[in-house]
Amino acid sequence: MEIAALGIDVGSTTVKMVAVNRAGEMVWDHLEPVDPRVAQQVDSFLEKLRQEIDSLDGIPLVATGYGRNLVKQAVKNITEITCHSKGVFSQLGHGGTLIDIGGQDSKVVVIGAKGQVVDFAMNDKCAAGTGRFLENSAARMQIPGSEMGPVALSATEEVSISSTCTVFAESEIISLLAQGVAVEPILMGLHRSLIKRVVAMVRSVGLVPPLLLSGGVVKNPAIRKVIADETKEEVFVPEHPQLMGAYGAALFALKLN
Ligand code: ADP
């Protein structure tokens, strides 16, 4: 395996590392839930990679994400907005409006025709527009994270969730379940509630088509469907949506090589 550069994205929920070759192709990746001892976790990521190649000496590492300043091995730190845009633009080959939904934040970035960041908005203050909103609600219904999307898509009807706050939505779910409402329509309503918040952010920035998606939450098929429904736009998703920040960081590191 030829490795020319590395990128790491220390997110609020997961840590992702990507290695690229000289051509900028992703040749290795690793993802784990974030550990509060980030410095040790980064060491263990590098150790994992070291077991697969002879030496990491001289291979530049760029860090991004919420915890990027904790990565002491990085030669440079770059914001998530810039790295996600770089990763998605390189994978999909065109600009547009990027929606990135992570575990505890969401962002909207308008990416120009040359891959530059034209405008952006970010929500890292309220869980309701993030993966956390769905995870908490699904946990209440004893549905595992990877099943939330498929279960929601099996619904034949949908319940409107009126609470916009994650904590109150949980109380609303308990009350709906007590009334005998099935989990599928509740889950579909929760997906729509989350996406309505994200789409409001898209409207505030201004939607420049096409619509591009990244972040772990867009691996959920119901999320992709509801975004397309609510915006009436076709959505474009890179092959590894959760790795786009780390991939973008690795591409920036490649330029330093
Ligand atoms: P961050 O960068 O903020 O740490 P990520 O982009 O790694 O976040 O996304 C983490 C979120 O993605 C979590 O909320 C998790 O539940 C969600 N997620 C990951 N894979 C899936 C999946 N297959 N289906 C639904 N949600 C998923």
Q: Measured from the CB, is residue 220 less than 6 Å from ligand 1?
A: yes
Q: What is the pLDDT of residues 231-247, one digit of tens each?
A: 999 999 999 999 999 99
User: Tell me, what's the pLDDT at 170?
Assistant: 87
- What is the Cα–Cα distance from 127 to 66, expressed in whole angstroms? 15
Please tell me if the CB atom of residue 68 comes closer than 6 angstroms to any atom of ligand 1: no
CA dist., res. 236 & res. 11, Å (int): 22
Please determine, for residue 257, whether its predicted confidence score (pLDDT) is greater than 80: no
DSSP-derived letter for residue 241 is G
CB of 241 within 8 A of CB of 210?
A: no
Strands 211-214 and 96-101: parallel
pLDDT tens digits along 154-185: 999 999 998 878 888 889 999 999 999 999 99
Out of 8, 12, 217, mutate this one to test ligand 1's pocket (max ligand atoms within 8 Å of CB): namely 217
Per-residue pLDDT averaged across 14-38, rounded? 97
Q: How far is the CA of 11 from the centre of ligand 1 (A)?
A: 10
Predicted pLDDT at 255: 95
Ligand 1, atom 27, lies closest to the CA of 217
Average pLDDT, the chain: 95
Question: Comparing 54 with 37, which gets the higher pLDDT?
Answer: 37
Decide whether any atom of ligand 1 lies within 6 Å of the 221 Cβ.
no
Return the ligand 1 atom nearest residue 31 CA.
7
Tens of pLDDT, residue by residue over 179-222, are 999 999 999 999 999 999 999 999 999 999 999 999 999 999 99
